[in-house]
Amino acid sequence: MTDVLRRGRAALAFSFFAQGVAFALLVTRIPAIQDRYGVSDALLPAFLAAVPILAGVGSVCTEHLVKKVPPSLVLRWSQPVVLLALLGVGAGEQMVVLGAALAAFGLAVGALDASMNMLGVSLQRSYGRSIMLGFHAVYSLGGIAGASLAWVGAHWDLALLVSYLPVVVVLLPAALVGSRWYVDSGPDAAKQEDAVPAEVGGAGGSVAFKMLLPLCLVMCFAYIGDSTVSNWSAKYLQDVLGSSEQLATVPYNVYMVTTLLGRSIGDFGVRRFGAAAVVRAGALVAAVGFAVVAVAPGAWVGMLGFTLLGLGLCVLVPQTFAAAGRLFPGASDAAVARLNIFNYVGFLIGSPLVGAVGDLWSYRGAMLIPMALVLVTLVYARSFETEPDRYGGGHERPRTADVGRGSNGL
């Protein structure tokens, strides 16, 4: 394996880490943001929904943008915008500033998520073996680091700007320097993309979307499950299972840690058993986790369920991006950008869906909704078996030195 690939992999991993830190610092300080700008409880959902909606727009724009410029260039400049927008959220005082900062954050996050995963898919193709779960593991590590920094800021009652500024000062120049080593797909892949007709996996055919649709559904269902944990785990443990307020904060942390653990070892599972087997196992473990949460007699059993959810859900998203790259080897960038939109669709649907079912019926019953949706993944698991890039036992391709074109300098 060449040094170019190794440096490209390390640089991209740092980009995933930085994004995990930035996103966690934003979402975990929402109460402080609300207090700083005087955002009412009635208006807050509109602000929160605007971010994933604009991120979807950013992902759509990225699909078209990468036809003109390489994904590495999109990632190089979208990541600084995300970090500066985070700083803007912490520095402003008027609601119009908050709106502008969140709008910039949302649009840039969509471009960032899409371009990061485009580069991850192309790097995996160059490596000839599964590495996507490792990138998402680093993202989870960044999320844990960001949440920990947010806890420190809240504990010491630090102003948002004081919490955000040191992080941006460290991450922004490091990301710009690291971007020098991003690796795009090679010229052969670009020629192949031009040669693929729309009806068999090109950039715009309706049949191509039908081929991608199962993966879109898996992505959406995975994020419905993820948003259920992030938005409802504390309330569920406290209000339904009768835990203390302090204990109610534990499940999400446990979920993040087990997500990191599962993604750290997931690539080895894909290489040994194949992507489809890992996805099936992840869906089953996640479904069992939701079932345990739904029937839990007390808080500790509920925490066991949330632990299983982290181990199960963590493999679905990275493998869905990887499967899109294998299904559309000549148009993987477009496939990843379109698939990425369903990340935000699931995020938007998940929390309101569980809340509505919980209010109308029961929160125990509401947990069965994401459980059923995750189980649907089993129906689509064959979409993860696409040859010839099945990176499982006996299917790993020889490592290749086709490193493509590196990014230009800053």
**Confidence class of residue 7 from pLDDT cuts 50, 70 and 90?**
very high
pLDDT at residue 196 is higher than 80: no
| Same fold flag, 1-185 and 189-394 | yes
Kindly tell me if the per-residue pLDDT of 389 is higher than 60.
Answer: no
pLDDT in tens, 223-278: 999 999 988 998 899 899 998 877 887 888 889 999 999 999 999 999 999 999 99
What is the rounded distance in angstroms from the CA atom of residue 371 to the CA atom of residue 286? 7
Q: In the predicted model, is pLDDT for residue 201 greater than 70? A: no
d(CA 203, CA 65): 13
Residues with Cβ within 8 Å of residue 250, at least 6 apart in sequence: 237, 303
pLDDT tens digits, 129-182: 999 999 999 999 999 999 889 888 888 999 999 999 999 999 999 999 999 999
Strand partners, 406: 183
Say which range, 96-100, 197-201, 272-276, 303-307, has the weakest mean pLDDT: 197-201
In CATH terms, is domain 189-394 a member of 3.90.1150.10?
Answer: no
Angstrom distance (rounded) from CA 244 to CA 183: 48
CA distance 112 to 140: 16
Does the structure show a pLDDT above 90 at 283?
yes
Parse the chain into domains and list their residue ranges: 1-185, 189-394
Q: Across the chain, what does the average pLDDT equal?
A: 88
Query: What type of residue is 216?
Result: C
pLDDT tens, residue by residue, 16-30: 999 999 999 998 888
pLDDT tens-digit profile of 89-99? 999 999 999 99
Q: Which one of 3.40.50.2300, 1.20.1250.20, 1.20.210.10, 3.40.50.300 gives the CATH number of domain 1-185?
A: 1.20.1250.20
Residue type, 388: P
Could you give the angle at which helices 332-360 and 95-127 cross, rounded to 10 degrees? 130
How many C-beta neighbours within 10 Å does residue 70 have?
A: 25
Give Cα 87 to chain centroid, integer Å.
21
Residue type, position 275, single letter: A
Average pLDDT over residues 71-95: 97
DSSP state of 179: G
pLDDT of 205 strictly over 60: no
Q: Is 377 in contact with 95 (CB distance < 8 Å)? A: no
Which residue, 320, 287, 323, is CA-closest to 305?
287
Quick one: average pLDDT of 211-231? 94
